[in-house]
Amino acid sequence: MKLFTEYLIESKKTYEFRVKIANTEMDAETLTKLETSLGEFELSSISKAKRLPIQDHPRDFPRMGPCEVCMFEIVLDYPANDEQVRQAIANRAHIPLANILVIPRNAPELLMRDAEFEESDTEKKEAILTQDLPKDKGEVQYGDEYNKKMLKALPTRKFDFAKYGDTKVETTNDLAMGTKAPLGSHKPTLPKRK
């Protein structure tokens, strides 16, 4: 029969997270701060930081605008949730909370993103720069030839507003002028008292 300690050693569980940090230079000093900040959770391993391409509005940091995002994977031996890891990084590595995103490795959101990424990789598309420009079959609306055509068509052209006929719209200039002043020329009628 096994002892309890043997069962405990065999049931060792690790906690994996993907960490993304925006607008922070990932130099050697910052990495050592990260490692020491995660030491309380018994950091088992940390991957090399990857720089993601700069985007106008990164999916994970939409309010930041164009920014540089670094991503790395960590494995912890001590149980922790994503918010605890995020707070530890912010407090000990002196990185603002808004610049840190921690996602558990088996989170459905992360699995969906990885599946989307794999699908986009499987579709091999030709680069847009190597493709020929589409032939434009529309009418050219500039140049000498266009101007000549327009001048020829001008006398025979019926304008869009001609379909309404010769209806005249009445303006304030066409209203009859009165002999009374607009103010004070007549007395208002007051209601009778009961």
SS3 18: strand
**pLDDT one-digit tens code per residue, 112-138:** 777 766 655 556 667 777 888 777 777
**pLDDT one-digit tens code per residue, 177-191:** 777 777 777 787 888
Higher pLDDT, 16 or 24: 16
**pLDDT one-digit tens code per residue, 100-116:** 999 998 888 777 777 76
Q: How confident is the model at residue 60 (pLDDT cuts 50, 70, 90)?
A: confident
Q: How far apart are CA 33 and CA 92, in angstroms?
A: 7
The predicted structure's pLDDT at residue 188: 79
Contacts of 46 (CB under 8 A, 6+ apart): 31, 34, 35, 38, 72, 73, 74, 75
Q: How confident is the model at residue 84 (pLDDT cuts 50, 70, 90)?
A: very high
Half-sphere exposure of 144 (CA within 13 A, CB side): 0
